[in-house]
Amino acid sequence: MYRAKWYEEPVKSVVDLVKFCLLVALLPGSLIHATDAAREQRWIEQTVDSIVVGTPVYLNADGHRFLGIYTESETPATRGVIVTHGTGFHPDWYQVVQPVRVEMTAHGWHTLSIQMPLLDNSAAYEDYVPLYPEVPARLEAATQYLARQGIDTIVIVAHSQGATMASYYLANTEHQISALVAIGMSAQHLQPHINSAESLKKIALPVLDVFGARDFPAVLRTAGRRKFGAAHNKNYTQVVIPDAYHFFDDHEDELLETLISWLDQFN
């Protein structure tokens, strides 16, 4: 591996320190991550012992160990779902994530809910931009884990910013994913390469874009933009669940019925 001279010698100045950080960040397999690793560890400590259904597993993405929760289908199946959460949450979050990862196992799906990159609670939506390069490695690790379980049909069911991260992955990375269910996905990122409406222009696989009639303004405001971005995709479907808010409190059943009905095409 090529190493610049200043990488081999002690760091002697602020300029050298900046150069060092930039180089290491660009090296293959870099161990530098933008995610808040300490907060991820706290989520592990607070979450794992409270898991009632499913088994905690630990995956690796470019040298970073992260949590997943694997739950087997109640019936023999070779279909699997990767579940991704929204901004700042964890793989067993009680709104949307836990209902999806648990209930889908009663309908012939294995599920693997994974920890996505995150920041502290004070972070704004746009603060997450530097974390997006970490997304592909996590979703690839999840895909490989499911494949090792003998699962050959894999879809992503993603909520909120997790859906935007999933669309970013599918638009920019070679993958083995069969479909995307995006729940409460917006298109508000200012950078085009991580804006879901732009990502949808590059995605040809089946997409279910589902959101609540009382969802966040950014989700409702960009619904037309997302639909326009997916205009080339005959397998794109947009569904609005009446009266539902972004986290689908009291509307989990309608959400799950919509997901399961749409996903039944993948047998």
Question: Residues 182, 209: contact at Cβ < 8 Å?
Answer: yes
Q: What ranges do the domains of the chain cover?
A: 35-263
By C-alpha distance, which of 42, 181, 35 is closest to 100?
181
Token pair belonging to 263: 């996903």
The 10s digit of each residue's pLDDT in 214-255 is 999 999 999 999 999 999 999 999 999 999 999 999 999 999
pLDDT at 7 over 50: no
Q: Tell me: the pLDDT tens digits for 186-198?
A: 999 888 989 999 9
Instruction: Annotate 142-183 with DSSP letters as a single string.
Output: HHHHHHHTT--EEEEEEETHHHHHHHHHHHHS-----EEEEE
Q: What is the pLDDT of residue 126?
A: 87
pLDDT of residue 1 exceeding 60: no
30: pLDDT strictly greater than 50: no
- pLDDT exceeding 70 applies to what percent of the chain? 88
Which of 4-18, 56-70, 182-196 has maximum average pLDDT? 56-70
Task: Output the pTM of the full model.
Answer: 0.88
In the predicted structure, residue 89 carries a pLDDT above the cut 90:
yes
What pLDDT score was predicted for residue 167? 98
Return the CATH superfamily for domain 35-263: Alpha/Beta hydrolase fold, catalytic domain (3.40.50.1820)
Residue carrying the six token digits 């019936």: 75
Confidence at residue 267, expressed as pLDDT on a 0 to 100 scale: 81
What is the per-residue pLDDT for 241? 98
pLDDT at site 23:
37
Copy the structure tokens of residue 28.
Answer: 């293959």
- 26 pLDDT exceeds 50? no
Which pLDDT value is given to residue 32?
Answer: 65
